[in-house]
Every structure is written in C-alpha cells, then in structure tokens.
Structure 1
Amino acid sequence: MAALPRAVTQAAATVTPATAARALFVARRDGRRVPSALVQPADCLEAYAIQDATLAAIGTVGGWKVGARAGQTPTCAPLPAEGLLPDGAFLTGPAWRLRGIEVEVGFQLGVDLPPRAAPYTRDDVAFAVHAVLPVIEVVETRLADWLGAGPQAQLADLLSHGALVLGQRQPFEPAWFDLANVETVLRFGPQIVAHTVGGHPSPDAGALLEWLANHCAARGAGLKAGQVITSGSCTGLLFASQGTKVQVEIGGLAALSVSF
C-alpha cells in the first residue's frame, strides 16, 4: 500500500476530537469528503467525543441511532434534528452520494431519561417510550474512504448517518420491543428489493434502548422527550440509484417513502 503524503500523516498526528469534528461538520455542510486519515479516533471514547463535538457544531439532537450485531456491544450516535425528515421527503444534491437505505423501527420518547446514579431498567425505558413509528435511515458518509476508514472512524462520523425519514406514529406497546417476527418490504420503484421476516441482527430492541439510556446518562447527556430512537436495520443495507422512489412497509405500521 502506498504511503500517505507527509502533509496528511503530520496532520493526522495532531488531530484532536475538536478538529476532527470541525472537519466532519464542514464536510456535512458542504457535501464534501474528509480524508479518512484525519478522522482516526484512538478508541470508542474518542469517537464518541468527536460525535459530541460534531453535534455541538450542527445544532440540536433530534434523536439517536443504536444497534448491535448478535453478541456484540451496541454502538450509537446522536442524530441532528435538522436531518429528521417527513414521509415523502425528496433528497437531492452533493450530500446524497451513497443513498444507502435501511428499514427500521423507531421509538419516540414521551418523557426525559436524564443522567442519574441508578441504572435505567427495561421497564424504565418502556415507560418512557410514547410512540412507535416506521423510519428509513439514509446512510451517507463524510469519509473519503468509507469502507477502508475502519469502524472507529465510522463511529465518529455518526455511524454513517445521513438522514432519518419519519413515518406515521402510533401508540407504543411493549410487544414492539421484540423485532424477531417483524415483516418488512422494501421497494425501489415498483421492484421489491427486500422482503424479510425477523431480519434484524439483534431483535431485542428493549435491550438496545436500555443500553442506550445508560450510555447516554454516562455521557452526561441523557435522552429527551420527543427524541426518536432508531433501532437498526431489518433489511440490511441496500443502495438506491439517483431518480429512485424508495417505498417501505413494516407490518403493523403505516407505509412511508423517500425519493432521490
């Protein structure tokens, strides 16, 4: 593998969470890409520090994404409120290059879960959730070498979050914490590109939200009423072409769409 230019390696050696976050913020704002060598956190703690600094530059936190592969510790990222979009949103411009699509079940909080000494329990989280809704996460990256950047850089880049399209809310029932039998249909135009039943890699959404509540409390932020928490893809990740209308159906919830 060819060596990185001296200027890049020197800059990478002096990057701090604040400067990495600034680079990611500018890239997000301008629809550009950051050399992956400039966003290489030493560990998860530094990646989360970059997330916090990035959101401080972007603005209000409108929600969170959390997910895990089977048997692995979850990871999460705050979601900018400006990127929570209504059903039927039309996305165009230089920011939308990957157009990655993930079909997910979202949970909206009705009360705050602030930092506290006692750990939050599953019952605490279930009490706090006010509504369930279908969502489409649009996956994008600010990293020039997205696949080669590594998991810590992707974690710092808000876990490759681009936007979250929100469907119709309905009252939450605890049974929604079990995603093992959720049926989803994903269409690109008229074509069905994914049809899954129980396709989520970590289907206990209650465990994911419990972990998130305690993780955010430890970060000193907590979770706030009105925030939407998205719980990982039920269909895997697929990529839409420019000009595609993406349509989603999740059993028991209203249909929704996004277009490029």
Structure 2
Amino acid sequence: MIDALPIVPASVAKAHAVQDRVAALLGEAIGGFKAGAPPDGEPTRGLIYERTIRSSPARMSPAEVPHLGVEGEIAFRFTRDLPATGAPYTREEVALAVTVLPAIEIVSGRYSNPRGRPNLEQLADCTINGGLVFGPETADWSHLDLPNLRITMLVNGATVHHKQGGHPTGDPLGAAVALANMLSDGVKAGHIVTTGSWTGMDFLKPGDRCVVRFEALGEAEVVFE
C-alpha cells in the first residue's frame, strides 16, 4: 500500500488515464467496471480486474482485499458488444443488451487510508474497488421496477440493512447507459458494470460472511477467509 499519489489527478479524464496505465503495466485483464452517473456531475468509471470478479458464493482473502468493505448493488452484464459509434446509445438500446445481477462490490484500495484521499485520487485507484461478487442473472427484467426493489444485507446471519429502494440516483440503468457512452472503444459482451451502492459502505472483519439479497433477483454471498 501507499499513502498517496505524488500528484492528485487534475480531472476525471486524468484519473481514468491513471487507472488505464496501471492496469496496462500490471497486465491486468478487465472484466468489468463500476460506473457513476451523478445528475449534476461528470460520469465516471472504475476498472474491475477480471481476476477479482467471482460468482456467488465466493471467498476472498483479507490479504487480497485488506479493507474488507462491502456494498450491496445491482449490476448488469452486457450480452453483446456495444461498440463506440459516434452517436450515444439510448436507454432502450442498452436495456436490450444487458441482464441484471445482484452483486456485492468489495471495497478495498491501494492507499493505506483510501477514503481519506481526495475524490479524484480515489477515482485514480478505480474508485477503491477491490472486486465484485455476483449472483444469478435475470434476462427478462423489463417488468421489474428496479429502483424500488427491496434489499436485505446480512452479516453473519444478522440483518444490517433492510429497505425498499436506495440506489444513490434512483436509476441503476442510467449508470450502464453512461458507461456505454463513456468508453472510447465501447463495451464488450461479458463485461459487467456495477452501478452504485444501495446500502452505503460497511467494513467487515476476517471470517465474516456477507449476503446481499434483492427481491426478485436473488442473492450474492462472500466470505472473507
């Protein structure tokens, strides 16, 4: 781990460039993204390395993800390529190109105190993403009111979150649309995008088991051992 970058990136584009350069230097294959589309801000994305994306139930070592943060999220998997075309993809086009998955984003950074760094420095660190655990895919989800699904998070069998709705912008699909229109080379079939925490951020301990359950979608589970 490091304490900080020598220079804080001056823009979202520069923070994205740091992500890309680090992944290239490490030889990391990219399996997905975390995407943010704030209504009053610039869209962002964080790379998720392929080796850190795991199907539920999953195990992750505290040595891999020492900060042990968890967030309950809805993710989408692209079922076909959406290449960059010069014209933005519509919500309808993206909706027809994705399945839906319940997910746990694993939050763990490369800084000793990642949440204490400036936002652009966190973005350069893939928005302190440590991995992603995904549950079953739902292909036919057009009838679901995604922003208003009920979510439950359990840690070691005890309920720590239980509520209806909770996505930070109220529009999970909007983040997937933003990603499809953000990437210079488009998105590829098989890529996963996770779209923002419904539960805030909880930090667990070695040995803990976390389950995130979305109404109508199923659940994702991770054990830190």
Using the TM superposition, give the Cα deviation of residue 70 of structure 1 relative to its aligned residue in structure 2, in angstroms.
5.4
Q: Greater strand percent: which structure?
A: 2
- Report the equivalent of 2:159: 192
Check conservation: 1:179, 1:200, Cα contact below 8 A.
Answer: no
Unaligned runs of 5+ residues in structure 2 are: none
Match of 2:147 among 170, 173, 180: 180
Amino acid of the residue matched to residue 156 of structure 2?
Answer: G
Bigger share in helix: 1
Confirm or deny: 8 A CA contact 2:62 2:68 kept in the other structure. Answer: no
Per-residue deviation, residues 18-62 of structure 1 (Å, max 9, x unmatched): xxxxxxxxxxxxxxx122142521211110101111222342211
- Name the CA shift for 1:179/1:67 in 2 (closer, same or farther; >3 Å): farther
- SS of the residue aligned with 2:146? coil
Q: Relative contact order, CA 8 A, sep 6+: which one is greater?
A: 2
Of 134, 157, 162, the residue aligned with 2:130 is 162
Secondary structure of the residue aligned to 1:38 is: coil
Per the alignment, residue 104 of structure 1 pairs with 73
Show the counterpart of 1:123. Answer: 92
1:74-153 matches, cutoff 5 A: 74-129=43-98, 131-153=99-121
d(CA) in 2 for partners of 1:167 and 1:126?
19
Task: Flag structure 1 segments of 5+ consecutive residues without an equivalent.
Answer: 1-32
CA displacement at 1:142 relative to structure 2: 0.2
- The CA deviation string for residues 91-115 of structure 1, in whole angstroms up to 9 with x for no partner, is 2242322111101111111111111
Q: Go from structure 1 to structure 2 and tell me whether the alpha carbon gap of 1:196 and 1:128 turns closer, same or farther (over 3 Å shift).
A: same
Change (3 A) 1:68 1:210: closer
Q: SS where residue 35 of structure 1 aligns?
A: coil
CA contact (8 A) 1:186 1:193 kept: yes
Aligned to 2:198: 234
Give distance in 1, aligned partners of 2:201 and 2:140. Answer: 26
Q: 2:37–2:178: 8 Å Cα contact kept in structure 1? A: no
Separation in structure 1 between the aligned mates of residue 86 and residue 211 of structure 2, nearest angstrom: 43
8 Å contact from structure 1 (residues 70, 201) kept in 2? no
Aligned to 1:34: 2
Separation of aligned partners in 1, 2:5 and 2:78: 37
Give the greater-gyration-radius structure (CA). 1
Runs of 4+ in 1 over 6 A off after TM superposition: none
Question: What is the Cα deviation at residue 68 of structure 1?
Answer: 4.2
Decide whether aligned partners of structure 1 residues 138 and 114 sit closer, same or farther in structure 2, where only a CA change above 3 A counts.
Answer: same
Counterpart CA distance in 2 for 1:155 and 1:175 is 34
Give aligned-pair identity as a percent.
34
Partner amino acid, structure 2, of 1:232: G
Distance 1:134 1:184 in 2: 10
* Equivalent in the alignment of 1:23: none
Taking the aligned partners of 1:92 and 1:148, their CA distance within structure 2 comes to 23
Cα distance, 1:140 vs structure 2 = 0.2
Deviations 1:199-238 (A, max 9, x none): 111121232222111111xxx2210001111111111111
1:107 partner amino acid: F
Q: What letter corresponds to residue 44 of structure 1 in structure 2?
A: V
- TM-score, length of structure 2 as denominator length: 0.92
How many corresponding residue pairs? 223
Q: SS of the residue aligned with 1:246?
A: strand
